[in-house]
Amino acid sequence: MNPSQHDSSQGTSQDRLQEIDPKTPLKKGSFKWIKWLLLLVVTALLVWRFYPHAEDASTHSKSRRGLGNGGPVPVTLATAITEEFPIYLNGLGTVQAFNSVLVNARVSGQIQEIRFQEGQEVKQGDVLAIIDPRTYQAQYDQAVSKKLQDVAQLQSAQVLMDRDKSLLEKNVLDHQTFDTQRYLVAQLEATVKADDANVELQKTQLDYTRVTAPISGRTGVKQVDVGNQVTVGGNMANGASSIVTINQIQPIYVAFTLPQQSLPEIREPMLARKSLQVTALDRNNQTPLATGVLSVVDNQIDTSTATVKLKAVFDNEDYKLWPGQFVNVRLLVGKHPDALVVPTEAVQLGPEGSYVYVVGESNTAEMRPVATGGAEAGLTLIESGIKAGEKVVVDGQYRLQPNSPVSTASAKTGSESGSRHHKTP
């Protein structure tokens, strides 16, 4: 064998061993092919993973636009109409008793009787409780006896003064003796007047043993039982003085607050001596409880909250309002005679403000920006943007795009919507 051939075959064998030797580093070209292969595999997996979702999203977008099959979007329409629209101011109120009195004992003593039931309606002057009157009866009798004694002394002194006056006129009695008797009469007259005052005082104290209702109203929970000691001044070590609280709830007040910006709308009707209607609603702001009139506007604005305090009075004949109850308050400050209104569900809120979809004779939806006012009973006041008689979409607008074709199989008019929704409390 040729030595050169032997060297060549030996070199080839070594090269092959080098190719299969795992410890031998690979060439740079091999790394490029591996990278490209991995990239193609990853790309294929991503396309396979997300392609069905992209197709679904496209289908969903088409269905939202109502253009999946190129057909019109079914919608419900209402007609914008003009009608009288009420203007309300809304606030949160608290029910307060028209008058509230804490009945206290005015003299100390032991409670002998309780003459009312808790929660009972009482009239002014009704006896609520009896305090042991024996001590006060004795003091009254003593004062009367003292007065009778002093009256007798006065009468005796007056008789002597009349006699001394006759003797003085005959120059039988000196002036000094007559003056002494005259001053004694004056002193006794003053004593009798003091006795009259003391008798009146003791009579009053005796009357206070009969605790009476100062106002007509409903009693609350009694705060003392028979046999307990009541003490004037409420010294709890010796006994309490409170007996019961009486609240007058027919009529009744509702106190509430409104922002100071609302004051001009309230002040103008009141200066014109117009009665402003106030409606009290439940906590859900759905069910009217009672209707009354505004009675008081506070004479200053609360600087800490920038609100003004108001009070409304209610007859409360059915007792739906109760002291301490929280209610929603609606103050009717006026009415817009020719307001343009649409159902509230027709008004949508977008990035640039409120808008409605208007459908014309071509049965295509036009997005129209609008300026809105208040909302009441399912209707919204439109200040600008549309005209009376135009058709607005009230159902199905979420599937619409500007200039989308529509079908109006189930249409309704704005007047029908208003008659169904617009019920002013």
For residue 425, name the pLDDT band (cuts at 50, 70, 90): very low
Handedness of CA 47, 49, 54, 59 (dihedral sign): positive
Q: Which range among 27-41, 120-134, 192-206 shows the weakest confidence by mean pLDDT?
A: 27-41
Average pLDDT, the chain: 83
Instruction: Tell me the per-residue pLDDT of 297-321, one tens digit each, with 9 for 90 and over.
Output: 999 999 999 999 999 999 999 999 9
Omega prior to 425 cis, within 30 of 0 = no
CATH (residue range 73-84+337-421) = 2.40.420.20
Average pLDDT over residues 71-81: 87
Three-state secondary structure call for residue 18: helix
Rounded to whole angstroms, the Cα distance separating 367 from 371 reads: 13
Whether 290 contacts 320, CB under 8 Å: yes
Average pLDDT over residues 59-69: 44
In the predicted structure, residue 257 carries a pLDDT above the cut 50:
yes
Rounded to whole angstroms, the Cα distance separating 169 from 183 reads: 18
**Which DSSP letter does residue 108 get?**
-
In the predicted structure, residue 172 carries a pLDDT above the cut 70:
yes
Total residue length of the chain: 425
What pLDDT score was predicted for residue 377?
A: 78
Instruction: Tell me the per-residue pLDDT of 16-37, one tens digit each, with 9 for 90 and over.
Output: 444 444 444 445 555 667 777 7
Who contacts 249 (Cβ-Cβ below 8 Å, separation ≥6)?
97, 98, 217, 218, 316, 319, 321, 322, 323
Ranges of each domain in the chain: 3-60, 73-84+337-421, 89-97+247-335, 103-244
In the predicted structure, residue 411 carries a pLDDT above the cut 50:
no
CATH (residue range 103-244) = 2.40.50.100
Whether 280 contacts 328, CB under 8 Å: yes
In the predicted structure, residue 423 carries a pLDDT above the cut 80:
no
Q: Please state which architecture CATH assigns to domain 89-97+247-335.
A: Beta Barrel (2.40)
Question: Left if phi > 0, otherwise alpha if psi is -120 to 50, otherwise beta: which for 253?
Answer: beta
In the predicted structure, residue 98 carries a pLDDT above the cut 80:
yes
